[in-house]
Amino acid sequence: MSSRPCLVSIVSPLEVITTGLRSMLAQHPERVSVVQMTTGPDAVDPDVILYDVMGLNDGDGADLENLVARPGSAVLAVGQDLRPDLGSRALALGADGFFSITVDDEALLAAVESATTGWEPGDPGQNPIVGSSDRAAAGARLGHEVGLTPREVDVLTMITGGLTNQDIAQQSYLSINSVKTYIRSAYRRIGVSSRSQAVVWCLQHGFSADAASSERRA
């Protein structure tokens, strides 16, 4: 680590989350300094950005994509245990890692500090980024337990939101035959044979109908 404190910015639509994370980090001023996000030619990128995944609940993800695009910052998603679908979506949009909002001080600091040290999967030591290893990231990804691919997850999410095969094809820029292929393979993995069964399975395994439904209404 650098001799100076790690610069951290917190991005959340919920003041209680921002205040809570700032309070936890403020207890370790020699290791972490919480700073405001800034823009403009003289802006300094924080070392780490903590992004509350609830920002994806009503948005299109553009704000997270902009944060991920900042070359000087690592982005860690702050996961909500009741919305694993949002954590999965944050990873898909390019977040470097994730951790649960329920972490304690030391786990939070481990996540923040390791985001600046370049831990890589395959390192023989323990992965200090909470949830950022291949194994842990898979644990937060929807459908990991049955081996769903990211594309199959996308298709099942849209099915859960009530989209038709034609809707899915248009939104995913796929042919209708490709959509049907992904649906068949996804159904095999989750052990269902009908759309209604697939929706029930998805709702029982952390998928949300809200995002796909919002996209259809837009």
Judge if pTM exceeds 0.85: no
Domain 144-217 indexed as CATH 3.30.300.30 = no
Neighbouring C-beta atoms of residue 146, cutoff 10 Å = 13
Residue 6 and residue 192: Cα distance in Å, rounded? 48
Which residues, given as ranges, of the chain have pLDDT below 50? 1, 119-139, 213-218
Question: What does the pLDDT read at residue 131?
Answer: 44
Question: What does the pLDDT read at residue 203?
Answer: 86
Question: What does the pLDDT read at residue 16?
Answer: 93
Question: What does the pLDDT read at residue 215?
Answer: 46
Residue pair 142/207 in contact (Cβ under 8 Å)? The answer is yes
| Residue whose entry in the numeric block shows the structure tokens 């995944």 | 53
Domain boundaries, the chain: 6-140, 144-217
CATH superfamily of 6-140: Response regulator (3.40.50.2300)
